[in-house]
Amino acid sequence: MLSSKMYIDGEWTDALSGATLTTVDPSTGEPLGTAPAAGEEDVDRAVMAARTAFKSWAMQPQKNRSDALLKISAAIRERAGELAELESREHGTPYNDAFGAVMGAAAKFEWSAYAAYRVMGEQIPVDFTTISYMQRHAAGVVGFIIPWNLPTIMAAVKLAPAIAVGNTAVIKPASINSLIGLKMAEIIHDTGALPPGVVNFVTGPGGTAGSAIAKHPEVDIIGFTGSSETGKTLLRDAADTVKKCIMELGGNNPVLVLPDADVDKALDILAWRQFNNSGQHCSGPGRYYIHERIYDEFVQKFKARAEAVKMGDSKDKTVEMGPVVSAEHQRHVLDYIKGAVGEGARIVTGGEAVSPGFFIQPTVVADVKHEMKIAREEVFGPVAVLIKYTDDDDLIALANDSRYGLCSHIWTRDLGAGMKLVENLQVGAAFINTQMLMDEQSWGTSVKESGIGKEGGLRGMLEFTDQKLVCIKYAD
């Protein structure tokens, strides 16, 4: 069994209560390790450490902060194998995918180190005797609550831009990924790049540690990725102190497959995207609307793609799809599949649990109706939900008939038709004939119940700053 401590004010510590939590290897279902289960008093220690460190960190020359991030980036690359192995063991990500995510995390720190030079002010023309400008400055202490589906890279996406511009942070990894979060803390600590208190990692349940972060009066911003339901709870927790909240929440992303689409090219990407990380992607395909003219071809070819996926223990470097993250989530996904069959849908392939561990076969569910629960809610698993539409159906109305608005995928040879759809889709991002193409310079955005604020890129970095108007009259 592995064992880790929390990281507060540059020191390794247990929870004051002595409480711990146990994480599990989802490929085997066996216990993997223990971590502290933080309570409110532990969160308070971390927040106050971040508050104490804030003033001096925010006043550092940008070069000093950027140099620190570059050291962290280099250390993550140097120890990428350690992080990838642990993500494979504790989360169930196939090793090669985990390694790629770790290298992506390193890139987030590197890009943020350079980008921070570009964002801190702008001059406003007024008249010839007055200087007026908007001065940006770090917002303060940021509380981050990290999702379980992409634990390493999502911590980097949030943390790197925040500390690059002078904020300090308290990070709570997802409980089931506690060891991954604390391994990142170890790598950061070992660089010696950051003063004590700039970054603090606390582990524990969301209902206690996460809520304590959101409620704490010395936390200025909350950054969260997770379900819309949890996001609403955190918004309520943050309301009493009017905290700024940056949130990417749930999604049920429509895939619109027009009658002229190249089915093979579409499935080259869609099938990979559906089963990569066991379908546990916020921006992955949610519900497919396929024109009746190509529906049968699409179903049969998706079946073949699903049955070709190599599923197995995530530590096997030849595996393409590992388990879902937990026994609870396995039950959650299987309940959706069972419910769809009860409502009249058809399992084309898959649909069963595989033991040991928390595996679900790559699954294709066809003949789904728009009104079915599996089409209305976020499944978040290796399950393709296929719906046939006709020329008489209003495709835009079907796609927009959702409380979510994260992203959409469109497949067509007619770019004019695709762009007309983009103009009317109520989503934060749209992808035509491609997967999500985003790098460090891009940002994510959401509408409806899929979130608030921006994440990634310069716009995401600006979320961690406040603005101050400065006006100077220098002559009569």
User: Any residues with CB less than 8 A from the CB of 444 and at least 6 apart, and which?
Assistant: 248, 283, 428, 429, 438, 454, 455, 456, 460
Q: How many residues does the chain have?
A: 476
- End-to-end alpha-carbon separation of the chain, Å? 74
76-88 exposure pattern, b = at least 16 Cβ within 10 A, e = fewer? beebbeebbbbbb
Angle (nearest 5°) at CA 288 between 283 and 290:
145
Give me the active site residues, please.
Answer: 248, 282
> Half-sphere exposure of 89 toward its Cβ, with a 13 Å CA cutoff?
17
Task: Give the span between the Cα atoms of 361 and 347, in whole angstroms.
Answer: 12
Token pair for residue 226?
A: 């997770």
Calculate Rg over the CA atoms of the chain.
23
Token pair for residue 454?
A: 């921006």
Q: Which 3 state secondary structure label does DSSP give 40?
A: helix
Distance between alpha carbon 95 and the CA centroid of its chain, in Å? 19
Cβ atoms of 443 and 459 within 8 Å: the answer is yes
Task: Give the span between the Cα atoms of 328 and 380, in whole angstroms.
Answer: 13
Nearest CA among 124, 155, 66, 18 for reference residue 468: 124
128-154 exposure pattern, b = at least 16 Cβ within 10 A, e = fewer? eeeeeeeebbbbbbbbbbbbbbbbbbb
Report which residue type is found at 154: M
Q: What is the DSSP secondary-structure string of 429-467?
A: EEEESS-----TT--B--EETTEES-BSHHHHHHTTEEE
Query: Cβ–Cβ contacts within 10 Å for residue 1, how many?
Result: 9
Task: Give the span between the Cα atoms of 38 and 172, in whole angstroms.
Answer: 10
Task: Give the span between the Cα atoms of 412 and 211, in whole angstroms.
Answer: 45
User: Any residues with CB less than 8 A from the CB of 235 and at least 6 apart, and which?
Assistant: 245, 247
User: Which strands sit side by side in the sheet containing 130-138, from one edge to the other?
Assistant: 121-127, 130-138, 465-473
